[in-house]
């Protein structure tokens, strides 16, 4: 579906939407003739009935890419997701509200397992990141093993686990009430 600006009635300068909690979408037109113009709408208002939403992970590529630092060893998936939540809280909350999260109980196809994981896989196929499987720790240990991510394969193949990262931060490696704070599930 093509979205047009309500001010200039053109789609040429409309940027991809920013997803906000409560299924809101924030659009911005950067047309130089009228200056920046922002408006809000709902996901349902811009989606045709029965339409499959394509490209749902597009908006996650750049933010997730910024959650793996140059010089990091392979970092456990939970670290990447924690950084996403800290650096892009509205985006994280919107995806959890749409798809759920394992911190609210066992459930298939959560934001973590589907959307965030798919976007990370796309970044790997684009040559931005590399991954390998390793042991799942802390709140993620129910998986048995998870992916570890880096910009480039560390020469010593070193890893930092979620449990180690949490110890460095002085927080529990299990889900806490603070982790659930401000989030809701579908």
Q: pTM score > 0.75 for this model?
A: no
Dist. CA 22–CA 86, nearest whole Å: 19
Whether the pLDDT of residue 70 is over 90: the answer is yes
Residues 47 and 68 in one domain: no
Residues 171 and 82 in one domain: yes
In a domain, 100, yes or no: yes
Dist. CA 97–CA 87, nearest whole Å: 17
Residues 154 and 97 in one domain: yes
Residues 76 and 49 in one domain: no
User: What is the model's pLDDT at position 51?
Assistant: 34
Please give the residue range of the domain that contains residue 121: 58-180
67: left (phi over 0), alpha (psi -120 to 50) or beta: alpha
Provide the domain count of the chain.
Answer: 2
Please enumerate, as own/partner, the contacts of 16-19 that have beta carbons within 8 Å and a separation of 24 or more.
16/58, 16/59, 17/46, 17/59, 18/59, 18/90, 18/91, 19/59, 19/90, 19/91, 19/94, 19/95
Residues 169 and 109 in one domain: yes
pLDDT tens-digit series, residues 4-57? 777 777 778 888 888 777 667 788 889 888 788 888 776 555 544 333 344 678
In a domain, 186, yes or no: no
Dist. CA 55–CA 118, nearest whole Å: 11
Residues 158 and 138 in one domain: yes
Q: What's the rounded mean pLDDT across residues 158-176? A: 97
In a domain, 114, yes or no: yes
pLDDT tens-digit series, residues 110-158? 788 778 988 898 899 899 999 999 999 999 998 888 999 999 999 999 9
Nearest in space to 185 (alpha carbons), one of 111, 124, 78, 114: 111
In a domain, 185, yes or no: no
User: What is the model's pLDDT at position 79?
Assistant: 98
Domain end residue (candidates: 54, 78, 96): 54
User: Could you tell me the pLDDT band of residue 184, with boundaries at 50, 70 and 90?
Assistant: confident
- Pick from 56-70, 76-90, 96-110: least confident: 96-110
Q: Any idea what the CATH number is for the domain that residue 122 is in?
A: 1.10.10
- Pick from 40-44, 101-105, 108-112, 168-172: least confident: 40-44
User: What is the model's pLDDT at position 53?
Assistant: 46
Nearest in space to 72 (alpha carbons), one of 137, 157, 141, 136: 157
Q: What's the rounded mean pLDDT across residues 87-109? A: 88
Residues 71 and 156 in one domain: yes
């Amino acid at each position: 579906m093509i979205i047009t600006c309500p001010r200039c009635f053109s789609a040429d300068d409309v940027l991809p939407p920013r997803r906000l909690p409560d299924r809101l979408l924030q659009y911005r037109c950067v047309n130089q003739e009228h200056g920046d113009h922002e408006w809000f709408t709902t996901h349902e208002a811009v989606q045709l009935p029965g339409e499959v939403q394509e490209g749902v992970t597009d908006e996650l590529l750049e933010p997730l890419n910024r959650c793996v630092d140059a010089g990091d060893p392979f970092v456990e998936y939970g670290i990447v997701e924690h950084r996403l939540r800290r650096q892009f809280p509205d985006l994280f909350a919107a995806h959890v509200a749409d798809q759920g999260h394992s911190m609210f109980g066992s459930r298939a196809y959560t934001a973590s397992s589907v959307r965030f994981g798919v976007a990370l896989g796309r970044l790997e196929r684009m040559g931005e990141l590399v991954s390998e499987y390793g042991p799942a720790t802390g709140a993620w240990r129910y998986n048995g093993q998870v992916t570890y991510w880096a910009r480039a394969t560390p020469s010593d193949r070193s890893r930092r686990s979620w449990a180690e990262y949490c110890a460095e931060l002085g927080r529990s490696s299990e889900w806490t009430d603070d982790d659930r704070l401000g989030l809701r599930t579908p």
